[in-house]
Amino acid sequence: MKVTEHIEKANGKALFSFEILPPLKGQNIEGIYNTIDPLMEFKPPFVDVTYHREEYVYKTHKNGLLEKTVTRKRPGTVGICAAIMHKYKIDAVPHIICGGFTKQDTEDALIDLDFLGIDNVLVLRGDPIKSEKRFTPEPNGHAYAIDLMEQVKNLNEGIYLDEDLKYNSPTDFCIGVAGYPEKHFEAPNMKNDLYWLKKKVENGAEYIVTQMFFDNSRFFEFERQCREAGINVPIIPGLKPLSTERQLSLLPQIFHLDLPDALVDEVNKAKSKDAIRQIGVEWCIEQSKELIKNGSPVLHYYSMGKSKNIQKIARAVF
């Protein structure tokens, strides 16, 4: 079932969903099941599965020469989606990214997902690899999420890369895209960020999932600006409970977001790691309750491969 259909079927009741990371190369799928199992009591209609592009490192040989070696740290998004749907009988939403994919790679991945009966994809540009200062697309790949989204839309209309194909079967993916309550860090301003978000919706995006945030007022302002701009698709807030003191500096650095003074002050006063985790849980519970009160159709939690804190939050909220 499509994400939009799940929302419509819920008839105004807020739904619970979350995102998981594929396991590191060399690990098995049991870690995924260990994350999902404790959260199934909250009846998630869908689970997102991230995609992590391959990266490369340079190895120095004894003769001094450097060898460029490609690594794939987290393979398996397509296989994990199939396993989730088979084991839990819920929808899996794979992330489709620009980085590391040619247009042909993208088409092949989408065909595989269609064969599996997957109804939803979340279309993202993706981050640059660690060795790059700026995002660099693959040769004959996509530079922007809106271009990647156009390819998914074309496949939904039966338009494949090979123009000589005949009797093409269209796919029927529900397309989700990302939104940034505090602006994408590469956008010059919020107005420009919303301009491109609206373009995605006009070109076929059916729902938006936001970057994590810790100040609900930022989300409500973002939602208001979206509606005023004519963006009327469901907007799903993305949430993550803060769990360590280190995240006070790490999250702003990685995700380009602000942390509220009250949350930072509480963490700074905490006397133990357990106290910090509890502060993060309680903050996220209050965020969640307020978002539901204000009509958010789904609350989407970033698990980062761990479910214990999210389980505590969901028990207090759902």
How far is the C-alpha of 206 from the C-alpha of 214, rounded, in Å?
25
Contact 316, 285 (CB under 8 A): yes
pLDDT, tens digit (0-9, with 9 covering 90-100), for 144-200 = 999 999 999 999 999 999 988 888 999 999 999 999 999 999 999 999 999 999 999
Contact 210, 225 (CB under 8 A): no
Q: Is 142 exposed, middle or buried (0-12, 13-18, 19+ CB in 10 A)?
A: buried
Q: Give residue 71's pLDDT.
A: 63
Pick the closest to residue 92 from 53, 126, 45 (CA basis): 45
- Residues of the chain short of pLDDT 70, as ranges, are 53-58, 68-75, 130-131
pLDDT averaged over every residue in the chain: 93
Which DSSP letter does residue 254 get? H
Q: What is the dihedral of CA 63, 69, 74, 78, to 10 degrees?
A: -150
Q: Give residue 76's pLDDT.
A: 82
pTM to 2 decimals?
A: 0.93
Backbone angles phi, psi at 208, to 5 degrees: -125, 135
Q: 3-class SS at 19? A: strand
Q: Give residue 75's pLDDT.
A: 67
Tokens describing residue 27: 């690990």
Q: Give residue 294's pLDDT.
A: 97
